[in-house]
């Protein structure tokens, strides 16, 4: 019919199982090294999102720590241009780390999907330690789940399934730098 395909269609996607009844499609553009992105995408990422080659390839942009709703309108629109909507940003980029445990629990109940909260529990997260980034709590005990210290290969099958449910892949879990091939 003469209409152009969305420009992100040149980038493949992968199916993940998010806290929705249907499968979520994660745009793979976030897994492409900076050098392999188009000039248009680089301009968008630099000028609107504040990425540089290093922060993109090393997953170091603090905006990835925010939920989609915490991004500015310009940032949201830039990510929509790259194929990310609220659901795909929060799962595929942020992995729900910007959400409170209560929000996670309520969301799972709202959509009648208990695997969402179960996935967090399998990985060792609970209401007490969710969002804690220090290695010890106020009483001196280690509060970070053991899964956080494991590489993908060290995760058991249940932990890998839980991580995948939260839109992690092996390279995302292991925080592997993006390298041009």
pLDDT tens for 109-161 read 877 777 888 898 999 998 888 876 655 555 656 478 999 999 999 999 999 99
Average pLDDT over residues 37-56: 95
Q: Work out the pLDDT band at 108, boundaries 50, 70, 90.
A: confident
pTM of the predicted structure, to 2 decimals: 0.78
SS3 115: helix
Q: Work out the pLDDT band at 28, boundaries 50, 70, 90.
A: confident
CA distance 91 to 109: 17
Per-chain mean pLDDT for the chain: 83
Q: Which of 156, 127, 154 is nearest to 143 (CA)?
A: 127
Identify whether the C-beta of residue 159 lies closer than 8 Å to the C-beta of residue 147. Answer: yes
């Amino acid at each position: 019919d003469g209409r152009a395909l969305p420009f992100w269609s040149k980038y493949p996607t992968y199916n993940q199982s998010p806290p929705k009844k249907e499968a979520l499609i994660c745009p793979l553009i976030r897994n492409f090294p900076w050098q392999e992105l188009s000039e248009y995408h680089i301009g968008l990422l630099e000028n609107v999102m504040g990425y540089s080659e290093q922060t993109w390839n090393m997953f170091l942009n603090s905006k990835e720590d925010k939920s989609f709703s915490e991004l500015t309108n310009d940032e949201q629109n830039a990510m929509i241009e790259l194929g990310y909507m609220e659901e795909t940003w929060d799962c595929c980029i942020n992995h729900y780390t910007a959400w409170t445990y209560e929000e996670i629990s309520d969301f799972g109940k709202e959509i009648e999907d208990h695997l969402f909260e179960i996935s967090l529990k399998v990985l060792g997260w609970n209401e007490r330690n969710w969002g804690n980034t220090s290695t010890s709590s106020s009483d001196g005990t280690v509060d970070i789940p053991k899964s956080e210290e494991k590489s993908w290969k060290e995760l058991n099958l249940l932990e890998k399934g839980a991580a995948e449910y939260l839109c992690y892949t092996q390279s995302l879990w292991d925080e592997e730098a993006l390298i041009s091939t």
